[in-house]
C-alpha cells in the first residue's frame, strides 16, 4: 500500500461502512473500505446463512436510503418477490444481499470512487490507518464503523465447552442434537441462537439466565400507528415521563407509544443531562431494549412453543462464576432472592450482547491514552459531538475522525437499527463532503 491520500478511510465494511461509502460516492467523495473479510456489506447481522433469522423491522422501513423509503421493497419485488410484502419481516440473509447489491450498483455508476481492502487495521494514525502488515492507507479523514463486538461475559478460549462468541463461524456445530445448553443473556442474541439450533432439529433444553429475566417483546400482527408524544412524555423529571408512558400505554397500547418515540429518541437522548442519562442506563435500559427492539411475529410464536414445551426456561439472577471441564459447564449464580443451586449442561453460550469497551479495544484504547479521544461520562463508548466526530481529552471535536453505527451509542443511544443508522450516514456524509 502506498502513502498516497485515499480520500476517506472507513474501518469496517458492514452495513454502516458499506452504505456510507456508497453515499459518499454519490456525492463525489472517494473512500477506501477496510474489512476483515471479503463479505463487504454484511457484518455480523446480515452474514447469517439461516433464513429463520428475520429482520426485527418491517421491510417497509428497511430502505438503505433515507430519501427513498420504498427502495428495499422495490428491490425485493425485483429479486425476491416471495418476500416483497412491505409489512413482513424479510430474512436477514436477503437484506444482506440487498446491501451488497446497492454497493455494487453504486460502484458501477461511480467507478473509481470506492476501493475495497481486505485487511486488519492495526492503528488509527494521524493521517489515515495503518494495517497489520505495516502498510498505510493515507486519508484526510477516518470513520470507525466497526459494528458490534463479540460478548465479553464468558472468557474466550477458557474451554471449548464455553461458546464465547456465538457468531463465530461454526460456533454451534459442536452442540449435539439432544444436548442441553446454558445461556447467559435473554435478549436478541439468545433468540437467534435458539432459532438456529431449533432449525437444525435440536431437541435439547435451554436454561437462560439474565439479571431481570426479560425477553424481547413481539411486534403486532400489523404495523402500529405512532401515538403522538405528549409534552409530559417529552420533558420534565424522568419518573414523571415514565408514569406518562405507562398511562399512554394503558390508553392505546405500548407499541403505539414506542412508535411515537422512535423518530426522536436520539434527539431526546442528546437533550438529556448527565443525571437523566445515568438513570436511564441504570434503571430503564433493560425495559427499553425489550420493548424497542422487538421480534417478528413468527419468531415470537417459536419462542412461545419452546417455552410451552419446557425446552426454554428463564431464570433471574447474576453470574458468579463459570467453570468447565471436558464433560460440561457449571454456572454458579445468585438468584434475585438469594442463593441458588448451580446450573450444569454440556455447553454454555454467551449471549450477553455486544461487549463494547472502548478503553480496551485495540483501535480505540490508544486514541484514549494519547488524548486524541475520551470516554463519555457513562463509559458507554467514545465521547462524540452531534455530527459523530470524536472529542479529544479537552472536549474538542476532531474534524478527521468519526464514529458511525453501533459504536456511536454513547452520543446517540439508538444507533443499531437501519432507520437510525441511515440518518447518521447522511449526517456524516454531509460533514465529510464539507
* 8 Å CB contact between 333 and 324: no
- Structural domains in the chain, CATH included, are 8-149+355-433 (3.50.50.60), 162-217+295-350 (3.50.50.60), 231-292 (no CATH)
Strands 114-118 and 31-35: parallel
pLDDT at 27: 95
| Contact partners, residue 297, CB within 8 Å, separation at least 6 | 89, 218, 219, 220, 221
In angstroms, rounded to a whole number, what is the distance separating the alpha carbons of residues 141 and 375?
Answer: 20
Element (H, E) at 399: strand 397-403
* 8 Å CB contact between 375 and 368: yes
In angstroms, rounded to a whole number, what is the distance separating the alpha carbons of residues 42 and 25?
Answer: 19
Rg, C-alpha atoms of the chain: 22
CA 35 and chain centroid, separation: 17
* Closest alpha carbon to 132 in 358, 360, 363: 363
* 8 Å CB contact between 432 and 8: yes
Q: How many helices (H) and strands (E) does the chain have?
A: 14, 17
Q: Which residues of the chain have pLDDT under 50?
A: 1-4
pLDDT at 153: 74
Strands 397-403 and 8-11: unpaired
| Contact partners, residue 182, CB within 8 Å, separation at least 6 | 206, 207, 208, 209, 329, 331, 343, 344, 345, 347, 348, 349
* 8 Å CB contact between 421 and 64: no
In angstroms, rounded to a whole number, what is the distance separating the alpha carbons of residues 327 and 117?
Answer: 42
Beta bridge pairs of residue 384: 390
pLDDT at 360: 80
In angstroms, rounded to a whole number, what is the distance separating the alpha carbons of residues 384 and 410?
Answer: 8
| Contact partners, residue 304, CB within 8 Å, separation at least 6 | none
pLDDT at 6: 58
Beta bridge pairs of residue 357: none
In angstroms, rounded to a whole number, what is the distance separating the alpha carbons of residues 402 and 11?
Answer: 10
* Closest alpha carbon to 88 in 263, 299, 305: 299
Three cell numbers, residue 413: 443511544
- Using one digit for the tens of pLDDT, what is the confidence trace for 17-74? 999 999 999 999 999 999 999 999 999 889 999 999 999 999 999 999 989 999 999 9
pLDDT at 155: 64
In angstroms, rounded to a whole number, what is the distance separating the alpha carbons of residues 327 and 186?
Answer: 25
| Contact partners, residue 251, CB within 8 Å, separation at least 6 | none
Amino acid at each position: 500500500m502506498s502513502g498516497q491520500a485515499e480520500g476517506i478511510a472507513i474501518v469496517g465494511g458492514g452495513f454502516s461502512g458499506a452504505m456510507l461509502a456508497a453515499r459518499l460516492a454519490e456525492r463525489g467523495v472517494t473512500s477506501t473500505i477496510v474489512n476483515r473479510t471479503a463479505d463487504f456489506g454484511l457484518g455480523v447481522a446480515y452474514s447469517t446463512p439461516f433464513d429463520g433469522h428475520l429482520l426485527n423491522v418491517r421491510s417497509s422501513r428497511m430502505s438503505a436510503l433515507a430519501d427513498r423509503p420504498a427502495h428495499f421493497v422495490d428491490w425485493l419485488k425485483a429479486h425476491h418477490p416471495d418476500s416483497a410484502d412491505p409489512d413482513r419481516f424479510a430474512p436477514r440473509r436477503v437484506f444482506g444481499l440487498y446491501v451488497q447489491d446497492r454497493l455494487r450498483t453504486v460502484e458501477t455508476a461511480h467507478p473509481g470512487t470506492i476501493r475495497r481492502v481486505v485487511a486488519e487495521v492495526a492503528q488509527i494514525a494521524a493521517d489515515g490507518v495503518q494495517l497489520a502488515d505495516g502498510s498505510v492507507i493515507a486519508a484526510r479523514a477516518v470513520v470507525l464503523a466497526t459494528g458490534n463486538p463479540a460478548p465479553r461475559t464468558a472468557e474466550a478460549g477458557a474451554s471449548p465447552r464455553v461458546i464465547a462468541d456465538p457468531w463465530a463461524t461454526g460456533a454451534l456445530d459442536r452442540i449435539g442434537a439432544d444436548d442441553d445448553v446454558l445461556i447467559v443473556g435473554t435478549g436478541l442474541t439468545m433468540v437467534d441462537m435458539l432459532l438456529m439450533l431449533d432449525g437444525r432439529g435440536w431437541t435439547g433444553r435451554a436454561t437462560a439466565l439474565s439479571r431481570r429475566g426479560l425477553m424481547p417483546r413481539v411486534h403486532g400482527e400489523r404495523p402500529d400507528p405512532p401515538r403522538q408524544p405528549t409534552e409530559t412524555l417529552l420533558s420534565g423529571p424522568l419518573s414523571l415521563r415514565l408514569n406518562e408512558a405507562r398511562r399512554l400505554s394503558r390508553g392505546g397500547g405500548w407499541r403505539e407509544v414506542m412508535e411515537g418515540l422512535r423518530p426522536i429518541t436520539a434527539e431526546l437522548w442528546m437533550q438529556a443531562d448527565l443525571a437523566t442519562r445515568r438513570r436511564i442506563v441504570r434503571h430503564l435500559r433493560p425495559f427499553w431494549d425489550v420493548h424497542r427492539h422487538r421480534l417478528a411475529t413468527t419468531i415470537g410464536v417459536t419462542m412461545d412453543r419452546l417455552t410451552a414445551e419446557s425446552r426454554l426456561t428463564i431464570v433471574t439472577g447474576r453470574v458468579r462464576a463459570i467453570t468447565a471441564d471436558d464433560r460440561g459447564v457449571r454456572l454458579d449464580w445468585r438468584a434475585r432472592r438469594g442463593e441458588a443451586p448451580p446450573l450444569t449442561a454440556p455447553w454454555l453460550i454467551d449471549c450477553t450482547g455486544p461487549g463494547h469497551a472502548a478503553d480496551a479495544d485495540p483501535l480505540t484504547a490508544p486514541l484514549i491514552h494519547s488524548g486524541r479521544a475520551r470516554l463519555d461520562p457513562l463509559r458507554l463508548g467514545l465521547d462524540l459531538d452531534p455530527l459523530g466526530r470524536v472529542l479529544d481529552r479537552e472536549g474538542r471535536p476532531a474534524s478527521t475522525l468519526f464514529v458511525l453505527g453501533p459504536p456511536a451509542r454513547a452520543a446517540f443511544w439508538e444507533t443499531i437499527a437501519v432507520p437510525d443508522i441511515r440518518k447518521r450516514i447522511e449526517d456524516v456524509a454531509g460533514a465529510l463532503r464539507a
